[in-house]
Structure 1
Amino acid sequence: MAAPILSTPAEHILEEISPINVALKESALSEEQLYVQYEIKRTVNEIRAGKWKRIALQFPDHMLVDAPRVFQHLQQDLKNARKNDSSVDLLAKNVANTQMSSADITKTVVEETLCILGDTSYGACCVDEVAAEHTDAEVVVHYGRSCLSPTARLPVIYIYTSNPINVQAVLASLKDLYTDKNEHVCIMGDIPYTHAIPQIAQRLRDDGYNNIFETKLLRDPSSPLPNRTVPSEVESDPETLKRWAVFHLSSPPTSLLLILSLRVKSVHIFPADSGSTSEANHTAEEASTHQLLRRRYALVTRLSSVPVFGILINTLSVSNYMQALQHCQDLIKRAGKKSYVFVVGKVNAAKVANFSEIGGWVVIGCWESSLIESKDFYRPIITPFELEVALTKDDERVWGAEWIGDFSTLLGREKKAVDNDDGQDESEDIEIEGNWQDQSSDDEPPEFDFRTGKYVSHSRPMGAAKQRNESKSVSAGSTEKRNLVSSALIQRAKGDIATINGIVSPGAEYFRSKRTWQGLGSDYEIAYERDADGKIQGATMEEGRGGVAKGYSVGEDKNKT
């Protein structure tokens, strides 16, 4: 058995390690294929039409091998377009009048500056506005598949690219699956495969299928079929989507699969990205999400009694992410719980494990990447929609036949609820008569963990929301009542949970009660040398060790190491 790396000789630390040469995968595309695959012509036309001068090119990891060639093509075509610009020609005709040469006139046209974004701050499906703004970009060209979430600041040119697919295998699988030619079927596909949908749909219509709907891309995650068009009957009545079966090309993201499975009749997935396109024996399989839904509901019930939530900001580009943050904070606050906000890049288990006092995490990101399924995380991670379900009272919590991945839909639903609220409940809460001794107990009913059955003593560390509303809304004339309420709450907070500047802090309470390790050397008592008068004697200053780790020297004596 080989010795671990920590047991190697100390001299190895100073030895220069030869750099590892990583063999990069060469591009398999010819110049013509590259030009078509990355839509160089359309990209140049849109850049010219938008009059953008600083352009950021965002590639996913598997496309970075083509990035330098795409950069060169765009740079050369933009240069050629500037030469042929009609405005330059017009200025060139007036050279005699302006006393300028044609070369000087050409230089007056500002050249476009291109920049490749090699590593995304968040998921590859999201537009990386943060990295683009670091380069002062005016527009982002996004390559590859995308979640199509609306951006907050910069315009975007989407280049979806395309992957090959065996159309004959798709048709054979469809015909074996849907023998009834009157079946209502929506043909969907991951973005790189959408180019084949019109051909597949037309072939099916030619074979006598009467109710085939070919979906088209639509930049709207809140659509009944996210980012896809829907049949006309579904636009007027979304419930009619239950009549339609979905045939999906390639495996959809988990969040999309949950949404589809609860909205349509059935979902069948054709594994377009699992093997060779020349093989015709691929068959579509029906997607089942029952086990996944049970697992997600178990996480929701598990986090219903958590006292402290962490909110992970996993995007700074998707519009309305600040409103989504405020929405989650309001939900947690109304439930009497505490929340802390963390801005992270790509979420991994090591990052979130640093905060063990957090009982559960909520991710605010794009609708595709917010659903994180992994057993590596120390605490569960849920979505804003699942947070709403988790913080619903036990006797009211119902797992309905819906799944919402886009937080813009949640914000719209909340706005409708506020608009429909007549305010009667609030007026009932603010009336306080008598004193607290005559009132029913202000404590919330006991709360138990559904998994263990144990009583949770600090499920609501911030106190009940109703009590806070009452303490704020008592009229100015009821000074005595207001003082009784506020003093009772302050006394409970000081007695149960640590506070910082008068504010309840479950994080500080965790440090005080559960984290006992104080640092290196904390188990040794510090003793100072004192003189005859009891004053602390300072240590004598002396020259310390110097040199390199291989051999230290003390002062000028090279023999002492």
Structure 2
Amino acid sequence: MSSSSATTSAFFSLDTAALERETEVLSEQPITFEQIWNETHKKVSNGWIRQNGYKRICLQFPDDYLPHSNAISTCLKTALASEECKVFILADTTYGSCCVDEIAAAHVEADSVIHFGNACRSKASRLPVLYLYPELPLEVPAMLKQLGTLQPECGEREVCIYFDIGYQHLYEQQEQQEPTEGEDTLYSQIREVLLPKKLHIEVYPPPAEDCAETKTAENASSGDRICVFVGADNQRFANLSLTTTALQWYILDGATATLSKKNPLTAQYIRRRYYYIEKCKDAQTLGLIVATLSAVGYLDVVTRLQTMAKSRGIKTQLISVGRINPAKLANFLEIDCFVLIGCAFNNMYNSKEYYKPIVSVFEAEMALNPAWHMKYPEAYVTDFKQLLPEGRSFLPFDKNAVQAQDVSLVSGRIRGGTDSDETVETASDNTVATQAKMALMTTSTGLSFEDRTWQGLDPALGQTEPAKLQQGLSGIPIKYSHD
């Protein structure tokens, strides 16, 4: 491509670019209509709507489910024709497909939401939600054969088997059916091939939030277990494996029936995250990105972060930009580090593509709360509710414990913070001189939000002559009709 054409392409794109652009597909394998909408899905959704008397139902789909959304909506309308229900389709979610978009549902005055596909199961605060997962095929004999190779390692140890959302139907069918005498259940078959000291079979995400918190707390307390995730190497596995301590993690890919060893908490990952924590300590301005409007407790987390940052003399700015990307966050030049306040599946961004680092609420807590100083966590915390007073990972914040000065491990400079209105320093003649708080603090950009001004166009009413009417341009910007 010549330099002139490359320069021109920076200012416009071809008119076919929007049609050729690929959507972001989050699923690990192609999804068929039968896998996301079968007789079981119909029975569960119809019964849920009729039992609760809902009249305005929103169907929320991820991008790769949208080709089947109209057929599912039509099928549901036909089944509920006698109930006088209205069904709406939610396509473009504000923050992520795993979160229930209660804001969009409120625009059509919906009284319920049926959520399809990947779900974080964050507790919704406004509307009742029904989660429908796909039913992906899995050859149980092939799975048992692969698990049999782990028998020498699993013998006399505690073993946990987690089923991803696409394979939960296998476990649920076993739970709902009463085993006949002499019949092998999924639990007994897995136990027979592994011969563990203790066996747990669970689904992830768990069906209830209370159950999720209890199991996560139990899992975090045991590090001598073998864990197997039946699914793919996706965001759900990353979230589960980071928050659950284990001697060894394995992924059993249901699509290919292959077993692979995986440990997410590598030394390189830990070093990278602690580097971002140090950058958060060095920041003079923190950007608090609100990436959820439905998860319970996000306002309490915002208040807590603002209080801790103020005690260190760090400014905070509250930001809501929808689904984040590098271009959006590049507009905030004054911010040195961002804190993403989102659901458990939406707060683990790789900051390599961004101009400034992005940390989770847990990492910001470790940076700003002195109670976490020199304390290594037992497990990573992705659910910010666990850092609040009711959570299992809560540590009280004492502003008096904040060090007046410490040394940055990144820049080697001395940094300090205090929540008092003035800082004091001792002069050479042993007198105490006062200095305004942050009077000497400077930023790399020299800008701050309060210093910004903006002035629109001056209408100059009555001071200009009216313009004459004339023929305007027609066509598209890159090729007008008169050219």
TM bucket normalised to smaller: 0.7 to 0.9
TM-superposition CA deviations, 1:117-151 (whole Å, max 9, x none): 01111111111111111111000000112111111
1:472-491 superposed matches below 5 A: 488=434, 491=436
Structure 2 partner of 1:259: 243
Question: Aligned equivalents of 1:18 and 1:308: distance in 2?
Answer: 38
Matches within 5 A, 1:61-140: 61-79=63-81, 82=82, 111-140=84-113
Whole-Å separation in 2 of the counterparts to 1:19 and 1:45: 40
Task: Write the letter of the residue equivalent to 2:364.
Answer: L
Please name the residue that 1:186 is paired with: 160
Matches of 1:18 and 1:351 in 2, distance apart?
A: 21
Cα deviation 1:428-462 (Å, max 9, x = unaligned): 99xxxxxxxxxxxxx97554432232455xx64xx
Q: 1:29 to 1:355 in 2, by over 3 A?
A: closer
TM-aligned CA distance change 1:379 to 1:299, over 3 Å = same
Tell me which amino acid in the other structure corresponds to 2:260: A
Give the Cα–Cα distance (whole angstroms) in 1 for the partners of residues 394 and 129 of structure 2.
33
The answer to whether the Cα contact below 8 Å between 1:148 and 1:227 also exists between their aligned partners in 2 is no
- 1:291-370 to structure 2, matched below 5 A, reads 291-370=268-347
Residue identity in the other structure for 1:61: D
Task: Return the alpha-carbon distance in structure 2 between the equivalents of residues 445 and 121 of structure 1.
Answer: 41
In 2, the alpha carbon distance for the partners of 1:379 and 1:321 equals 23
Deviation string 1:457-496 (CA, Å, 9 cap, x unpaired) is xx64xxx11x24999xxxxxxxxxxxxx9x946x445x44
Tell me if 1:548 matches 2:442: no
User: Is 1:510 paired with 2:447?
Assistant: yes
**Deviation (angstroms), 1:336:** 2.1
Contact 1:171 1:200 in 2 (8 A): no
Q: SS at the partner of 1:322?
A: helix
CA contact (8 A) 1:220 1:228 kept: no
Following the alignment from structure 1 to structure 2, what is the Cα–Cα distance between the partners of residues 398 and 131?
Answer: 41
Please give the alpha-carbon distance, in whole angstroms, between the structure 1 residues aligned to 2:392 and 2:159.
Answer: 34
Change (3 A) 1:451 1:42: same
Q: 1:202 aligns with which of 178, 181, 188?
A: 188
C-alpha distance in 2 between matches for 1:512 and 1:470: 24
Partner of 1:449: 408
Pair 34,202 (structure 1): closer, same or farther in 2 beyond 3 Å:
same
Q: Does residue 386 of structure 1 match 2:363?
A: yes
Q: Is the 8 A contact 2:122 2:209 kept in 1?
A: yes
The 2-side partners of 1:408 and 1:75 are apart by 37
Name 2:228's counterpart in structure 1: 247
Offset at residue 311 of structure 1 (A): 0.2
* 3-state DSSP of counterpart to 2:127: coil
Q: Deviations over 1:14-39 (max 9, x none)?
A: x99899589999x9857x76642770
Root mean square deviation of aligned Cα = 4.4
Residues 219 and 227, structure 1, Cα contact 8 Å, conserved in 2 = no
What's the TM-score once normalised by structure 2's chain length? 0.76
Once residues 372 and 417 of structure 1 are traced to their aligned partners in structure 2, the CA distance between those partners, rounded to angstroms, is: 23
In structure 2, the residue corresponding to 1:213 is in which secondary structure? strand
Are the counterparts in 1 of residues 423 and 434 from structure 2 also a CA contact under 8 Å? Answer: no
Q: What SS class does the counterpart of residue 242 from structure 1 fall into? A: coil
110-119 vs 179-188, which deviates more? 179-188
| AA of the residue aligned to 2:262 | E
Q: Give the whole-Å Cα distance in 2 for the aligned partners of 1:183 and 1:141.
A: 40
The 1-side partners of 2:298 and 2:278 are apart by 25
Structure-1 separation of matches of 2:46 and 2:106: 21
| Aligned position for 2:252 | 270
State the 1:47 CA deviation: 0.4
**Contact 1:37–1:161 (CA under 8 A) maintained in structure 2:** no
1:16 & 1:147 partners in 2: Cα distance? 37
CA drift at 1:165: 2.5
Q: What is the SS of the residue equivalent to 1:123?
A: coil
Where structure 2 has 5 or more consecutive residues not aligned to the other structure, the ranges are 175-184, 425-431, 456-461, 476-482
The alignment covers a number of residue pairs equal to 437
Q: Which amino acid aligns with 1:367?
A: A
Alignment correspondent of 1:440: none
Larger radius of gyration: 1
| Higher relative strand content | 2
* Aligned-pair CA distance for 1:219: 4.3
Q: Provide Cα deviations, 1:402-424, integer angstroms capped at 9, x if missing partner.
A: 21111111003679979x99xxx
1:212 and 1:447, CA in 2 relative to 1: closer, same or farther beyond 3 A? closer
Please state how far the C-alpha of 1:325 moved relative to its aligned partner. Answer: 1.3
1:258-280 Cα shifts (integer Å, max 9, x gaps) = 112xx2222112233xxxx4x55
Distance 1:326 1:507, change over 3 A: farther
> Contact 2:122–2:343 at 8 Å: present in 1 too?
yes
CA contact (8 A) 1:222 1:408 kept: no
Partner of 1:557: none
Q: Could you tell me which of 193, 202, 206 is aligned with 1:215?
A: 202
User: Secondary structure of the residue that 1:412 maps to in structure 2?
Assistant: coil
One-letter code aligned to 1:314: A
2-side partners of 1:16 and 1:284: how far apart? 44
CA distance in 2, matches of 1:541, 1:165: 76
Structure 1 543/346 Cα, relative in aligned 2: closer, same or farther at 3 Å?
A: closer
* Match of residue 173 from structure 1: 146
Deviation at 1:389, TM superposition (A): 0.9
- With 63-72 and 404-413 compared, the bigger mean Cα shift is at 404-413
CA separation in 1, counterparts of 2:392 and 2:38?
45
Q: 1:178 to 1:469 in 2, by over 3 A?
A: farther
Give the superposition deviation at 1:294: 1.6
- 1:77 is matched by which residue type in structure 2? A
Task: Tell me the residue number matched to 1:478.
Answer: none
1:259/1:403 contact within 8 Å kept: yes
State the 1:334 CA deviation.
Answer: 2.1
> For 1:230-245, what aligned pairs fall within 5 Å after superposition?
241-245=222-226
Residues 216 and 229 of structure 1 are in contact (CA less than 8 Å); yes or no, is this contact kept in structure 2? no
State how far apart, in whole Å, the 2-side matches of 1:541 and 1:5 are.
42
Contact 2:220–2:379 (Cα < 8 Å) also in 1 = no
* CA distance in structure 1 between the partners assigned to 2:446 and 2:99 by the alignment: 37
Whether contact under 8 Å (1:215, 1:229) holds in the other structure is: no
Counterpart of 1:45 (choices 38, 47, 59) is 47
For 2:169, the aligned partner's letter is H
Q: CA deviation at 1:204?
A: 1.9
- Check conservation: 1:190, 1:252, Cα contact below 8 A: no
